[in-house]
Amino acid sequence: MKLELYTRPTCSDCQAAKKFLSQNNIDFLEFDLTKVPGKEENLKDVSGARIVPTFVFKETILGFPKKPKVYIGFENNFVDIKRKLGIS
């Protein structure tokens, strides 16, 4: 499983999400939309919105990509994100 995290530096929920992932030794690829503005279109394509933080879990089955699981927001999706990461 690969985790992509879309963020902005002024977003406190983004900072909390990154801290949580780091504290739990979770590898993730961060896209700071202020540094990589072209990724905003990818964010809209995958989530249908421009809201951050957005967690995009990418998985494959037998080498073929599954539809990504997307969570928009950290605090509101905390339980589901922990479950997806296998953290109790």
Helix or strand or coil: residue 30? strand
Q: What is the pLDDT of residue 61?
A: 87
Residues 25-56 pLDDT 10s:
999 999 999 999 899 999 999 999 999 999 99
Amino acid 32: pLDDT? 98
Q: Does residue 88 have a pLDDT over 90?
A: no
Query: In this predicted model, what pLDDT tens digit does every residue of 62-83 receive, in sequence order?
Result: 888 889 999 999 999 999 999 9
Measured at the alpha carbon of residue 1, what is the angle toward residues 32 and 51, in degrees to the nearest 5? 35
Residue 58 has pLDDT above 90, yes or no: yes
pTM given for the model: 0.94
Considering the chain, what is the average pLDDT of its residues? 96
- Please give the pLDDT value at position 63: 85
3 state SS of 64 = strand
